[in-house]
Amino acid sequence: MKSDLLLWSLTGLLLFLNCNQVDNRQSNSVSENTTLYYNGDIITMEGEEPEYAEALVVQDSTIAFVGSLEQAKTEFNSYQEKDLQGKTLVPGFIDGHIHFSGLGAQALAANLLAEPDGKVNTVEDLIAEMQRWSSSNDREIFDGWIVGMGYDDAILGRHPNKDDLDQISQEIPVIVVHISGHFCTLNSKGLEVSGITAESQDPVGGVIRRVPGTREPDGTLDELAGIPLLFRLISPRTPEKIDLFMNAAQEMAISFGYTTAQEGRATGSHEALAQYAKSGKLKIDVPSYIDYSMPELMETEWYSNQYQNHYRIAGLKLTLDGSPQGRTAWRTEPYLIPPPGADESYQGYPAIPDDEQVQEIVDMAFTNDWQLLTHANGDAAIDQLIRSVASASASYGNDDRRTTLIHGQYIRYDQIDSLARYDIIPSLFPMHTFYWGDWHRQLIGDKKGSHISPIQTAHQKCGVVTSHTDAPVALPNLMMIMWTTVNRITRSGDVIAPEESLSPYDALRTITIWGAYQHFEENRKGSLVQGKLADLVVLSDNPVKIDPMQLKEIEVHETIKEGVSIYQL
């Protein structure tokens, strides 16, 4: 009996020692799926003022802890350490309006942006850059065309014409795309292969510009005269080109800190995005808004509040007018400087002149409970939107639809009251204050031109506001968006309507927690809270503490999607 007791005692002791050894190995090992971030400014984006945490712990794809460093080390005894070394950690960026698939074309085509984003400040610069691109790139990227994106007539002094582009080539079709995406210019060969001649009629919602005194096209196509051609050229169709364009788009987006990048007007790009998502290559979330002309896509499996391989159809996109800097935004008053060929009564024009057709589209969205994003820049277009939403709200109710106005450059202050009345989220475009603030003051007068993008008033009256890059209109640089939103400085150095500036913290909210809210994703994104997705960005400096004039100098050092590092500077 004593020998049996001794044997059991020795066995128990050995088991105890072995268990202790296992526990010690577990506590001393480093867990690969748990990461502790510390030693930097961790801005939670919760609350009306900046709130900071000493530490943040990520487990797998979610945030497991936000709080003090001491408590983090107490609760988690097995983790990888990520020393921020004084840098700043914020939620992953969510732009209020961007064309994700267009980033591929922006990355692959000739860069025709003016300074500071490019080097094309004259028509001669444009020709030289296009010639350089043509000599060093494969034209088959764009089905044999020579393509450039981002020229700005406000900087060049005019739109280029076919004669300018014929200097690049007379045998190969050439197209250059305006920075707004609402105009393009073709060379003579491009007009020929596109079937655009003196006999061609202007389409509804578009204009074929003519050589003065004739019917001969001068090469520049406004709005719906050129947009369908443009979309065909920059929308890849073969599997190889889809990968090429989407890889380029994704790499650009993550380099600027995006963890969610909207597809702001999907037509043919939906099929490319769906194919890319099915391949498993999407690293970030892409909510897509389908053009109103293709409502059948809203009935597919992709329409959902949940992502499939990081892609989903999130709602419907409606476009009511054009570009304010291009003078196709629809206003209730004439432009002070009408475009070539227009008289002094010119007020821009609607994309859909028939109010009944607009009402049918809005009713369709409300009936089906589809979120509606609407492009409207001029105050006449915004009036058209408000009329249709008011009618649809009376008929179908308006509970938490999160209808969103995109751009709203020339919005009147009384219209902001209407946005608040009908719970329309303003996604404004303060980038214009720098890029075209001086030009807008010439186009519509100093007072009204200075009050473009009145985002502070919109915030005070509507609560949630977002801002956006509209890339590829400009680079998808959200630090530049913050800089313009906070400082409202024009290219000439004037500060316009400083009372419409947001604080740096509120400007950061527009691209984090408020961006998440606009997309119905505030419960899983947009702030650093336990249980939300570990979508994070590491910045070189704290945008809330830095000199506001230095905001555009902040660099993205790392982008983390659901706990996985997908970009490092």
Q: Which amino acid is at 49?
A: E
By CB atoms closer than 10 A (0-12, 13-18, 19+), residue 285 is buried
Domain boundary among 181, 203, 233: 233
186-222 pLDDT, tens digit each = 999 999 999 999 999 999 889 999 999 999 999 999 9
Asked if residue 5 has pLDDT above 70, the reply is no
Residue-level pLDDT at 268:
83
Pick from 468, 472, 469: which is nearest to 103 by CA?
472
Three-state SS at 117? coil
542-568 pLDDT, tens digit each = 999 999 999 999 999 999 999 999 999
Q: Which amino acid is at 471?
A: A
Q: Is residue 418 part of a domain?
A: yes
Pair 182, 129 in one domain: yes
DSSP track, 286-325:
EEEEEETT-GGGGGSTTBSSS-BTTEEEEEEEEE----TT
Pair 226, 263 in one domain: no
> Can you give the residue range of the structural domain that contains 115?
102-233
The answer to whether 560 and 536 have CB atoms below 8 angstroms apart is yes
Residue-level pLDDT at 341:
85
Q: Both tokens of residue 201?
A: 């009629």
Pair 283, 172 in one domain: no
Asked if residue 13 has pLDDT above 50, the reply is no
Q: Alpha-carbon distance 218 to 223, whole Å? A: 15
Q: Both tokens of residue 208?
A: 């074929």
Contacts of 547 (CB under 8 A, 6+ apart): none
| pLDDT band at residue 253 under the 50/70/90 scheme | very high
Q: Is residue 373 part of a domain?
A: yes
Asked if residue 2 has pLDDT above 80, the reply is no
Asked if residue 40 has pLDDT above 60, the reply is yes
Lowest-pLDDT range of 14-28, 74-88, 227-241: 14-28
442-458 pLDDT, tens digit each = 999 999 999 999 999 99
CATH of the domain at 506: 3.20.20.140
CATH of the domain at 159: 3.10.310.70
Global pTM value? 0.89
410-429 pLDDT, tens digit each = 999 999 999 999 999 999 99
Asked if residue 20 has pLDDT above 50, the reply is no
226-236 pLDDT, tens digit each = 988 888 887 78
| pLDDT band at residue 26 under the 50/70/90 scheme | very low
Asked if residue 8 has pLDDT above 50, the reply is no
Pair 368, 413 in one domain: yes
Q: Both tokens of residue 232?
A: 């065909």
Asked if residue 169 has pLDDT above 60, the reply is yes
Per-residue pLDDT, averaged over 365-386, amounts to 98
Asked if residue 6 has pLDDT above 70, the reply is no
By CB atoms closer than 10 A (0-12, 13-18, 19+), residue 47 is exposed
Q: Alpha-carbon distance 228 to 189, whole Å? A: 18
Three-state SS at 404? strand
Asked if residue 527 has pLDDT above 50, the reply is yes
Residue-level pLDDT at 4:
41
Pair 425, 547 in one domain: no
Contacts of 207 (CB under 8 A, 6+ apart): 221, 222, 223, 225
| pLDDT band at residue 30 under the 50/70/90 scheme | low
Asked if residue 503 has pLDDT above 90, the reply is yes
Residue-level pLDDT at 140:
87
Q: Alpha-carbon distance 45 to 56, whole Å? A: 13
Q: Which amino acid is at 52?
A: Y
Pair 242, 351 in one domain: yes
Pair 272, 127 in one domain: no
CATH of the domain at 543: 2.30.40.10
Mean residue pLDDT across the chain: 93
Residue-level pLDDT at 28:
35
Pair 448, 532 in one domain: no
Asked if residue 115 has pLDDT above 80, the reply is yes
Contacts of 414 (CB under 8 A, 6+ apart): none
Pair 513, 545 in one domain: no
DSSP track, 381-393:
HHHHHHHHHHHHH
Contacts from 550-554 at CB under 8 Å and sequence distance 24+? 551/479, 551/482, 551/483, 551/486, 551/487, 551/504, 552/477, 552/479, 552/480, 552/482, 552/483, 553/479, 554/479
Domain boundary among 204, 233, 262: 233
Per-residue three-class SS string for 79-97: CEEEECCCCEEEECEECCC
Percent of the chain with pLDDT over 90: 87
Domain boundary among 200, 233, 266: 233
Q: Please list the residues that pair with 220 across neighbouring strands.
A: 185
Pick from 303, 342, 311: which is nearest to 326 by CA?
342
Pair 180, 52 in one domain: no
Asked if residue 76 has pLDDT above 60, the reply is yes
Q: Alpha-carbon distance 375 to 388, whole Å? A: 14
- The domain total for the chain is 3
Three-state SS at 34? strand
Pair 107, 200 in one domain: yes
Pair 530, 519 in one domain: no
318-339 pLDDT, tens digit each = 999 999 999 999 999 999 999 9
Contacts of 267 (CB under 8 A, 6+ apart): 231, 235, 291, 293, 294
Residue-level pLDDT at 18:
42
Three-state SS at 449? helix
Q: Is residue 469 part of a domain?
A: yes
Query: At which residue do the structure tokens 């090469």 appear?
Result: 219
